[in-house]
Amino acid sequence: MKKYLGILLLYNLGKWCHQPLITAVAIAWLGYALYQFVRRHGQDEADDADEITQSQALFEEAQVEYRYITTAQFEQTMNHLDNPGQLGDVLVAEMAQGRPVGAVALLTTGILKARQAMIQTGIIERSDEKRKSANTPGYDLVSHQYAEVAGKQFNLYHRTHLLPFRFTLSEGDNIDGLLFTGTAHLNHGDRPQINYLMLHNQARVNQLYAAYQNNHYRLVLSDVHVPGEVAGTNYSLDDFEQLATRIILSKKQSETEFKYEVSCDYDTEGPLPQSITVNLWDLTHQTLAFTVTLPNDI
């Protein structure tokens, strides 16, 4: 504002003193100031347009489509090397008897990179409220169970994604059957009832990835106990979600295709699964990258 007042004062001074040179300088100065304003304003609009274009490009690369499949269709594809849909699909089995059945994510390396970029740039954000509003059978029965660690309360059960958020960009509020009630132990590796909290699981993931590489890029884990940990401490769903992410992103070709699938295994009529089976298929190279069954134990 002071700059423009100065220009106006200089212009009037030139007129009052009958000095055409001063007036010309004022006019030139004003013209330059207006040019800078228009240029900056135009640049802001161009930057906004670039951001919109980049967001649209990421949405197109992410190719997110949510679809329901029947229980029979899910059972036909689970544990088999096939492609039950289109790349980019998030396929969720329709719930049977009011219980989650399973889900599938059909990804490429490029699709996963785009979905992660949408999270990292804030185009898509996590939402506790959306997750709380999602249908999670059985959670209300156990939501009051917790343990105290260092004066803080930690829930023994979580609203748990069958497919990780970075694979789906969904909290489960927009497609039924994506969330189930999992223990903190299964979901994240925490066992608060014995004062065991999983703060960093990178060493676990490194361990699993090394085993995958050393076994000719295939991991079939029958013993899910974590070596060196207290008895009864198992690998978590998060460990294998991160392992799957690392395997998918390790491929040089962005078109490399994968099928990540998870099923709920029940041994009673209750709403909580006894265990969860997780598979990652490399569809391009026609191989099973890993398979594991994790107990839903506290």
Distance between CA atoms of residues 243 and 49, nearest Å: 37
Distance between CA atoms of residues 167 and 238, nearest Å: 13
**Residues 157-170: pLDDT tens digits?**
999 999 999 999 99
**Residues 203-216: pLDDT tens digits?**
999 999 999 999 99
- Give the model's pLDDT for residue 25: 45
Write the DSSP string, 71-82: HHHHHHHTTSS-
- Give the model's pLDDT for residue 192: 97
Choose among 166, 168, 266, 185: nearest CA to 226: 185
pTM comes to 0.83
Q: What are all long-range contacts of 143-152, with beta carbons under 8 Å and residues at least 24 apart?
A: 146/192, 147/192, 147/193, 148/192, 149/192, 149/195, 149/197
- Give the model's pLDDT for residue 57: 85
- Give the model's pLDDT for residue 263: 98
Average pLDDT over residues 268-291: 97
Choose among 95, 94, 240, 115: nearest CA to 165: 115
- Give the model's pLDDT for residue 53: 75
Helix residue ranges, H only, 121-183: 128-133, 139-142, 165-168
Strands 219-221 and 287-295: parallel
- Give the model's pLDDT for residue 5: 43
pLDDT band at 6 (very low <50, low <70, confident <90, very high): very low
**Residues 122-145: pLDDT tens digits?**
999 999 999 999 999 999 999 999
- Bridge partners for 66 per DSSP: 90
